[in-house]
Chain A
Amino acid sequence: MDELELLKKDWQKKNDQLPKLTYNEIHKMTWKKSSSIVKWILIISILEIILPNLLYLIPSFRKSMSIYDNTIVDQCFVAMTVIYYLVVFYFVFLFYKRYKEISVLDSAKGLMRKIIRTRRTVKYYVIFSLSTILIFIGLVIIGIYLNDSFMDNFSEMAANTKDVSPEKLKTTLMVSMAIMGVVMIAFFGGVYFLLYGLLLRKLKRNYKELKRLEV
């Protein structure tokens, strides 16, 4: 294409028209903080890992765990918690390993692949974490349903609701737990997929384009 050759010649003469930064200006830039998408992935991922775990610090959440007065169920909870944290640590380790593998010195395609792989690790973590919340809330709802003296755990609330029939109260509590679960999952999931969707839209489009070439 003749035009492209013409452009090449002109392009190589462009140097004197480009901006010129001084030594000091460049030096200052080396001290600035990066705002690359890798940095954002790290921030969002750390938040996604920490936030669901913070739920256990909320008193009512801990209280609701005591609805089961059965020791076997209690032991199950302990076992589940241990497994949960083991899986969380595994995800953190895997995320760290993948994050470290991201290198700007890779080829364009290699870099994109590694970012997508790191993101996939966090995606699986989020799915795991949300499923755990769902299972946990499910167990609490079943617990409320099976346990007749569950209101003892909420002594303050029981005092205020003497006139309401226990059955109605039970249903209300179960429904509100379910709603809370759905809202929570929608929130964590929504924030995660929205942020990542926006952050990686460009990257995914470019990666697809490079991959398409191989077909």
Chain B
Amino acid sequence: MNKELEHQFVTELENNQNIVHKVCTLYTHDRDSHKDLFQEITIQLWKAYPKFRGESKFSTWMYRVALNTAITLYRKSKRRVQTQDYESVIFKIKADEYDSTEEEQLKLMYKAVKQLGDIDKALVFLYLEDKDYREISETLGISEVNARVKMNRIKTKLRTILNP
């Protein structure tokens, strides 16, 4: 039974691993901590998996566990060296898809998002993942109104970072 559960879990996570990678990308600064955080999220997901009863989609459930681990449970790695090649691989922008102004704008936006605080990042992440304010507010434990207010403040903050 346990083996079956384990197989089910690993398969689900393998199929949905992009969510975890995206969280790791936002919250870490180098490959090692990316891997470290991915591992911690996997452990937390696995520990909580027996409580996952399939009431919601596996991916929906993952958002909460992954963000909680990144924001609260994960102890930040001592290494804070921001390696250029890590950034460029993750946020690589395909030159042929955009004109150069758009490309430049995107680069600046990704940089600006990385500069935000943990909570702001979580909001932006859920927003980018196309989650509605109800889900954002439930994941973070704040009211829907406050989630909207906070998102507006973040937009202003991003604008300030982009146009100092």
A residues in contact (CB < 8 Å) with B: 1, 3-4, 6-8, 10-15, 17-23, 26-27, 29-30, 32-38, 40, 103-112, 115, 199, 202-203, 205-206, 209-210, 213-214
Contact = CB atoms under 8 A, between A and B. Distances in A.
A21 B17 contact: yes
Given A23-B11, A30-B46, A8 B130 contact: yes
A27 B46 CA distance: 10
Contacts of B113: 7
Interface-central residue, B93, B109, B150, by most chain A CB under 10 Å:
B109
B6 interface: yes
Given A26-B10, A37-B73, A107 B43 contact: no
Contacts of B162: 3
Contacts of A35: 40, 75
Interface in B13-35: 13-14, 17-18, 21-22, 25, 34
Interface string B52-67: 0000000001001101
B141 A37 contact: no
A14 B123 CA distance: 18
Contacts of A203: 72
B82 interface: no
Given A18-B21, A34-B40, A108 B71 contact: yes
Contacts of B18: 15, 18
Given A6-B102, A30-B10, A108-B72, 19 more contacts: A3-B158, A8-B128, A8-B130, A12-B128, A26-B10, A26-B14, A32-B42, A34-B40, A34-B43, A34-B47, A37-B74, A38-B73, A104-B65, A106-B141, A107-B141, A111-B68, A206-B117, A206-B119, A214-B143
9 contacts: A30-B6, A30-B9, A30-B43, A36-B75, A103-B48, A104-B47, A108-B119, A202-B118, A214-B146
B89 interface: yes
A12 B38 contact: no
Contacts of A29: 38-39, 42-43
When A and B form their complex, which 10 residue pairs have the shortest distance between CB atoms, in order from nearest?
A107-B141, A109-B141, A36-B73, A29-B42, A18-B21, A11-B128, A213-B146, A30-B46, A34-B43, A1-B155
Nearest to A22: B14
A125 to B, nearest CB: 22
B42 A37 contact: no
Contacts of A13: 97
B139 A107 contact: yes
Contact of A3 (B17, B65, B105, B119): B105
Given A26-B17, A29-B43, A30-B46, A209 B141 contact: no
Nearest to A107: B141
Contacts of B141: 106-110, 210
A168 B62 CA distance: 69
A115 B72 contact: yes
Nearest to A39: B73
A130 B61 CA distance: 43
